[in-house]
Structure 1
Amino acid sequence: MARMHTRRRGSSGSDKPTADENPEWSDVDADAVEERVVELAQQGDDPSQIGMKLRDEGVQGVPVPDVKLVTGKKVGEILDEHDAAPEVPEDLRNLLARAVRLRDHMDENQTDYQNKRALQNTESKIRRLIDYYRGDEIDEEFTYSYEAAVEIIE
Protein backbone atom coordinates (compact mmCIF):
# COMPACT_ATOMS: atom_id res chain seq x y z
CA MET A 1 0.00 0.00 0.00
CA ALA A 2 1.32 3.44 -0.84
CA ARG A 3 1.98 6.16 1.71
CA MET A 4 -0.54 8.93 1.97
CA HIS A 5 1.69 12.01 1.77
CA THR A 6 4.72 10.73 -0.14
CA ARG A 7 5.32 9.00 -3.42
CA ARG A 8 7.03 6.04 -1.80
CA ARG A 9 5.56 2.62 -1.29
CA GLY A 10 5.18 1.37 2.22
CA SER A 11 6.87 -1.73 3.55
CA SER A 12 4.55 -4.64 4.04
CA GLY A 13 3.74 -5.56 7.61
CA SER A 14 3.44 -8.96 9.15
CA ASP A 15 0.09 -10.71 9.00
CA LYS A 16 -1.67 -12.02 12.02
CA PRO A 17 -1.63 -15.81 12.06
CA THR A 18 -4.98 -17.29 11.16
CA ALA A 19 -6.57 -19.13 14.03
CA ASP A 20 -10.09 -20.43 14.41
CA GLU A 21 -10.11 -21.11 18.12
CA ASN A 22 -8.35 -20.06 21.27
CA PRO A 23 -5.07 -21.93 22.00
CA GLU A 24 -5.20 -24.79 24.49
CA TRP A 25 -2.71 -23.15 26.86
CA SER A 26 -4.97 -20.09 27.26
CA ASP A 27 -8.10 -21.40 28.90
CA VAL A 28 -9.61 -18.16 30.21
CA ASP A 29 -13.31 -17.65 30.75
CA ALA A 30 -14.92 -15.18 28.30
CA ASP A 31 -16.78 -13.38 31.12
CA ALA A 32 -13.53 -12.83 33.02
CA VAL A 33 -11.93 -11.33 29.91
CA GLU A 34 -14.89 -8.98 29.41
CA GLU A 35 -14.73 -7.86 33.04
CA ARG A 36 -11.00 -7.20 32.73
CA VAL A 37 -11.51 -5.21 29.49
CA VAL A 38 -14.11 -2.97 31.15
CA GLU A 39 -11.92 -2.59 34.24
CA LEU A 40 -8.93 -1.48 32.14
CA ALA A 41 -11.12 0.94 30.18
CA GLN A 42 -12.36 2.51 33.41
CA GLN A 43 -8.72 3.00 34.43
CA GLY A 44 -8.29 5.12 31.30
CA ASP A 45 -6.61 2.72 28.88
CA ASP A 46 -7.25 2.91 25.14
CA PRO A 47 -8.48 -0.21 23.27
CA SER A 48 -5.01 -0.91 21.83
CA GLN A 49 -3.44 -0.61 25.28
CA ILE A 50 -6.09 -2.98 26.65
CA GLY A 51 -5.19 -5.58 24.03
CA MET A 52 -1.49 -5.33 24.84
CA LYS A 53 -2.09 -5.58 28.59
CA LEU A 54 -4.26 -8.65 28.11
CA ARG A 55 -1.58 -10.18 25.92
CA ASP A 56 1.25 -9.41 28.38
CA GLU A 57 -0.39 -9.56 31.82
CA GLY A 58 -3.43 -11.66 31.01
CA VAL A 59 -6.44 -12.41 33.17
CA GLN A 60 -5.80 -14.18 36.46
CA GLY A 61 -2.20 -14.79 35.35
CA VAL A 62 -3.13 -16.47 32.05
CA PRO A 63 -2.23 -14.51 28.90
CA VAL A 64 -4.97 -13.79 26.35
CA PRO A 65 -3.44 -13.90 22.85
CA ASP A 66 -6.60 -12.74 21.07
CA VAL A 67 -9.68 -11.27 22.72
CA LYS A 68 -11.90 -12.00 19.73
CA LEU A 69 -11.07 -15.73 19.78
CA VAL A 70 -11.93 -15.97 23.48
CA THR A 71 -15.08 -13.82 23.61
CA GLY A 72 -16.25 -13.77 20.00
CA LYS A 73 -16.24 -9.93 20.17
CA LYS A 74 -13.63 -7.26 19.56
CA VAL A 75 -12.43 -5.00 22.37
CA GLY A 76 -14.39 -2.06 20.93
CA GLU A 77 -17.60 -4.10 20.79
CA ILE A 78 -17.16 -5.12 24.43
CA LEU A 79 -16.64 -1.49 25.42
CA ASP A 80 -19.72 -0.40 23.46
CA GLU A 81 -21.88 -3.02 25.21
CA HIS A 82 -20.78 -1.83 28.65
CA ASP A 83 -20.93 1.90 27.78
CA ALA A 84 -17.20 2.24 28.44
CA ALA A 85 -16.16 3.26 24.93
CA PRO A 86 -14.10 6.45 24.60
CA GLU A 87 -15.92 9.58 23.43
CA VAL A 88 -13.50 10.11 20.53
CA PRO A 89 -12.09 7.20 18.49
CA GLU A 90 -8.54 6.30 19.42
CA ASP A 91 -6.97 6.99 16.02
CA LEU A 92 -8.53 10.45 15.83
CA ARG A 93 -7.49 11.23 19.41
CA ASN A 94 -3.87 10.29 18.66
CA LEU A 95 -3.84 12.52 15.58
CA LEU A 96 -5.34 15.40 17.57
CA ALA A 97 -2.64 15.02 20.23
CA ARG A 98 0.04 15.05 17.52
CA ALA A 99 -1.42 18.19 15.95
CA VAL A 100 -1.48 19.97 19.32
CA ARG A 101 2.16 19.05 19.97
CA LEU A 102 3.19 20.21 16.48
CA ARG A 103 1.26 23.48 16.83
CA ASP A 104 2.90 24.18 20.20
CA HIS A 105 6.30 23.48 18.65
CA MET A 106 5.50 25.79 15.72
CA ASP A 107 4.63 28.63 18.13
CA GLU A 108 8.16 28.46 19.53
CA ASN A 109 9.97 27.72 16.23
CA GLN A 110 8.35 29.66 13.40
CA THR A 111 11.03 28.78 10.83
CA ASP A 112 10.81 25.03 11.29
CA TYR A 113 9.37 24.36 7.84
CA GLN A 114 9.66 20.58 8.06
CA ASN A 115 7.36 20.51 11.07
CA LYS A 116 5.08 23.05 9.41
CA ARG A 117 4.60 20.54 6.59
CA ALA A 118 4.09 17.73 9.12
CA LEU A 119 1.38 19.83 10.81
CA GLN A 120 -0.34 20.40 7.46
CA ASN A 121 -0.30 16.68 6.70
CA THR A 122 -1.58 15.78 10.16
CA GLU A 123 -4.42 18.29 9.97
CA SER A 124 -5.31 16.89 6.56
CA LYS A 125 -5.56 13.39 8.02
CA ILE A 126 -7.67 14.73 10.89
CA ARG A 127 -10.15 16.37 8.53
CA ARG A 128 -10.38 13.17 6.50
CA LEU A 129 -11.05 11.08 9.63
CA ILE A 130 -13.64 13.56 10.90
CA ASP A 131 -15.52 13.19 7.62
CA TYR A 132 -15.37 9.41 8.05
CA TYR A 133 -16.64 9.43 11.64
CA ARG A 134 -19.16 12.30 11.29
CA GLY A 135 -22.64 11.28 12.38
CA ASP A 136 -21.72 7.93 13.93
CA GLU A 137 -18.95 8.63 16.42
CA ILE A 138 -18.71 12.43 16.18
CA ASP A 139 -21.34 15.17 16.18
CA GLU A 140 -22.57 16.33 12.76
CA GLU A 141 -21.55 19.97 13.35
CA PHE A 142 -18.03 19.23 14.62
CA THR A 143 -15.22 20.90 12.69
CA TYR A 144 -11.52 20.73 13.43
CA SER A 145 -9.75 23.65 15.04
CA TYR A 146 -6.75 23.89 17.33
CA GLU A 147 -8.94 25.04 20.24
CA ALA A 148 -11.34 22.10 19.75
CA ALA A 149 -8.40 19.70 19.64
CA VAL A 150 -6.96 21.06 22.89
CA GLU A 151 -10.37 20.76 24.53
CA ILE A 152 -10.74 17.12 23.44
CA ILE A 153 -7.22 16.16 24.52
CA GLU A 154 -7.59 17.63 28.00
Structure 2
Amino acid sequence: MARIHTRRRGSSGSDKPVADDPPEWSDVDADAIESRVVELADQGYDPSQIGMKLRDEGVKGTSIPDVKLATGKKITEILEENDAAGEVPEDFYNLLERAVRLREHMDENPQDHQNKRALQNTESKIRRLADYYRGDKLDEEFNYTYETAAEIVED
Protein backbone atom coordinates (compact mmCIF):
# COMPACT_ATOMS: atom_id res chain seq x y z
CA MET A 1 0.00 0.00 0.00
CA ALA A 2 1.26 3.47 -0.81
CA ARG A 3 2.07 6.23 1.66
CA ILE A 4 -0.43 8.97 2.33
CA HIS A 5 1.48 12.03 1.15
CA THR A 6 3.97 10.50 -1.27
CA ARG A 7 3.62 8.06 -4.11
CA ARG A 8 6.30 5.76 -2.73
CA ARG A 9 5.55 2.43 -1.16
CA GLY A 10 8.05 2.39 1.70
CA SER A 11 9.69 -0.63 3.24
CA SER A 12 7.91 -3.02 5.52
CA GLY A 13 8.76 -3.03 9.20
CA SER A 14 9.38 -5.86 11.60
CA ASP A 15 6.64 -7.52 13.61
CA LYS A 16 6.59 -8.33 17.30
CA PRO A 17 7.18 -12.00 18.06
CA VAL A 18 3.99 -13.93 18.66
CA ALA A 19 3.72 -14.82 22.35
CA ASP A 20 0.85 -15.78 24.63
CA ASP A 21 2.66 -15.74 27.97
CA PRO A 22 5.27 -13.42 29.43
CA PRO A 23 8.79 -14.87 29.53
CA GLU A 24 9.72 -16.93 32.58
CA TRP A 25 12.62 -14.63 33.51
CA SER A 26 10.20 -11.68 33.90
CA ASP A 27 8.06 -12.79 36.84
CA VAL A 28 6.99 -9.43 38.31
CA ASP A 29 3.56 -9.15 39.90
CA ALA A 30 0.91 -7.38 37.80
CA ASP A 31 0.01 -5.02 40.66
CA ALA A 32 3.63 -3.90 40.95
CA ILE A 33 3.72 -3.19 37.22
CA GLU A 34 0.50 -1.18 37.38
CA SER A 35 1.74 0.90 40.30
CA ARG A 36 5.02 1.58 38.46
CA VAL A 37 3.08 2.66 35.34
CA VAL A 38 1.01 5.13 37.38
CA GLU A 39 4.14 6.36 39.16
CA LEU A 40 5.88 7.05 35.83
CA ALA A 41 2.79 8.81 34.50
CA ASP A 42 2.77 11.06 37.56
CA GLN A 43 6.39 11.94 36.77
CA GLY A 44 5.22 13.22 33.36
CA TYR A 45 6.07 10.35 31.01
CA ASP A 46 3.91 9.52 27.99
CA PRO A 47 2.61 5.95 27.47
CA SER A 48 5.27 5.14 24.86
CA GLN A 49 8.00 6.46 27.15
CA ILE A 50 6.58 4.41 30.02
CA GLY A 51 6.81 1.26 27.90
CA MET A 52 10.45 1.95 27.07
CA LYS A 53 11.27 2.70 30.72
CA LEU A 54 9.71 -0.60 31.80
CA ARG A 55 11.58 -2.41 29.06
CA ASP A 56 14.92 -0.86 30.00
CA GLU A 57 14.70 -0.32 33.76
CA GLY A 58 11.82 -2.57 34.71
CA VAL A 59 10.24 -2.96 38.12
CA LYS A 60 12.56 -3.77 41.03
CA GLY A 61 15.38 -4.46 38.57
CA THR A 62 13.45 -6.97 36.43
CA SER A 63 12.66 -5.86 32.87
CA ILE A 64 9.10 -5.98 31.56
CA PRO A 65 9.27 -6.78 27.83
CA ASP A 66 5.51 -6.50 27.24
CA VAL A 67 3.11 -4.88 29.70
CA LYS A 68 0.03 -6.32 28.02
CA LEU A 69 1.30 -9.89 28.34
CA ALA A 70 2.28 -9.36 31.97
CA THR A 71 -0.88 -7.59 33.16
CA GLY A 72 -3.52 -8.34 30.52
CA LYS A 73 -4.03 -4.59 29.96
CA LYS A 74 -2.41 -1.98 27.78
CA ILE A 75 -0.56 0.92 29.37
CA THR A 76 -3.27 3.36 28.30
CA GLU A 77 -5.96 1.15 29.89
CA ILE A 78 -4.01 1.10 33.15
CA LEU A 79 -3.70 4.89 33.05
CA GLU A 80 -7.42 5.36 32.34
CA GLU A 81 -8.37 3.08 35.25
CA ASN A 82 -6.21 5.16 37.61
CA ASP A 83 -7.25 8.56 36.20
CA ALA A 84 -3.71 9.29 35.06
CA ALA A 85 -4.38 9.44 31.32
CA GLY A 86 -3.75 12.63 29.36
CA GLU A 87 -6.52 14.88 28.13
CA VAL A 88 -5.84 14.00 24.48
CA PRO A 89 -4.36 10.81 22.98
CA GLU A 90 -0.58 10.72 22.67
CA ASP A 91 -0.44 10.41 18.86
CA PHE A 92 -2.82 13.34 18.45
CA TYR A 93 -0.84 15.45 20.94
CA ASN A 94 2.43 14.75 19.11
CA LEU A 95 0.90 15.91 15.82
CA LEU A 96 -0.42 19.08 17.48
CA GLU A 97 3.02 19.76 18.94
CA ARG A 98 4.61 19.35 15.52
CA ALA A 99 2.06 21.62 13.85
CA VAL A 100 2.66 24.37 16.43
CA ARG A 101 6.44 24.14 15.92
CA LEU A 102 6.05 24.23 12.13
CA ARG A 103 3.66 27.20 12.27
CA GLU A 104 6.10 29.15 14.47
CA HIS A 105 8.89 28.30 12.03
CA MET A 106 6.75 29.45 9.09
CA ASP A 107 6.06 32.78 10.81
CA GLU A 108 9.80 33.40 11.00
CA ASN A 109 10.64 31.92 7.57
CA PRO A 110 7.75 32.54 5.15
CA GLN A 111 9.76 31.44 2.09
CA ASP A 112 10.44 27.94 3.42
CA HIS A 113 8.29 26.00 0.96
CA GLN A 114 9.31 22.52 2.14
CA ASN A 115 8.13 23.23 5.65
CA LYS A 116 5.00 24.87 4.31
CA ARG A 117 4.17 21.56 2.64
CA ALA A 118 5.09 19.67 5.82
CA LEU A 119 2.69 21.89 7.78
CA GLN A 120 -0.09 21.21 5.28
CA ASN A 121 0.50 17.46 5.54
CA THR A 122 0.61 17.57 9.34
CA GLU A 123 -2.59 19.58 9.57
CA SER A 124 -4.23 17.12 7.19
CA LYS A 125 -3.24 14.24 9.47
CA ILE A 126 -4.57 16.15 12.48
CA ARG A 127 -7.95 16.67 10.84
CA ARG A 128 -8.22 12.98 9.89
CA LEU A 129 -7.21 11.85 13.37
CA ALA A 130 -9.62 14.36 14.94
CA ASP A 131 -12.44 12.76 12.93
CA TYR A 132 -11.41 9.39 14.33
CA TYR A 133 -11.26 10.56 17.95
CA ARG A 134 -14.18 13.03 17.86
CA GLY A 135 -16.93 12.08 20.29
CA ASP A 136 -14.81 9.44 22.05
CA LYS A 137 -11.56 11.02 23.21
CA LEU A 138 -12.21 14.56 21.89
CA ASP A 139 -15.21 16.85 22.27
CA GLU A 140 -17.97 16.49 19.71
CA GLU A 141 -17.48 20.14 18.64
CA PHE A 142 -13.67 19.99 18.31
CA ASN A 143 -12.34 21.70 15.20
CA TYR A 144 -8.64 22.11 14.54
CA THR A 145 -7.21 25.60 14.47
CA TYR A 146 -3.72 26.78 15.28
CA GLU A 147 -5.03 28.60 18.35
CA THR A 148 -6.65 25.47 19.82
CA ALA A 149 -3.53 23.43 19.06
CA ALA A 150 -1.28 26.01 20.75
CA GLU A 151 -3.61 26.08 23.75
CA ILE A 152 -3.56 22.27 24.13
CA VAL A 153 0.21 22.06 23.70
CA GLU A 154 0.79 24.95 26.12
CA ASP A 155 -1.07 23.22 28.99
- Structures share fold, TM-score greater than 0.5: yes
Deviation per CA, 1:15-65: give whole Å up to 9, x if none.
000111010111100000000001111111111000000000000010000
Structure 2 distance, partners of 1:67, 1:90, is 18
Which ranges in structure 1 are unaligned for 5 or more consecutive residues? none
- For 1:59, the equivalent position in structure 2 comes to 59
Any idea what SS the aligned residue of 2:103 has?
Answer: helix
- For 1:5, the equivalent position in structure 2 comes to 5
RMSD: 0.7
TM score, norm. by length of structure 2: 0.98
Structure 2 distance, partners of 1:85, 1:112, is 37
Structure 2 distance, partners of 1:135, 1:80, is 17
Any idea what SS the aligned residue of 2:115 has?
Answer: helix
Structure 2 distance, partners of 1:2, 1:79, is 34
**Percent of aligned positions with the same letter in both sequences?**
79
Aligned partner of 1:64: which letter? Answer: I
Asked if 1:97 corresponds to 2:102, the answer is: no
Aligned partner of 2:99: which letter? Answer: A
Deviation at 1:10, TM superposition (A): 1.7
Deviation at 1:2, TM superposition (A): 2.0
Deviation at 1:133, TM superposition (A): 0.2
Q: Residues 42-121 of structure 1: matches in 2 within 5 Å?
A: 42-121=42-121
Structure 2 distance, partners of 1:102, 1:67, is 34
Which ranges in structure 2 are unaligned for 5 or more consecutive residues? none
TM score, norm. by length of structure 1: 0.98
Equivalences, count: 154
Structure 1 distance, partners of 2:32, 2:144, is 39
Q: Residues 29-44 of structure 1: matches in 2 within 5 Å?
A: 29-44=29-44
Structure 2 distance, partners of 1:5, 1:113, is 16
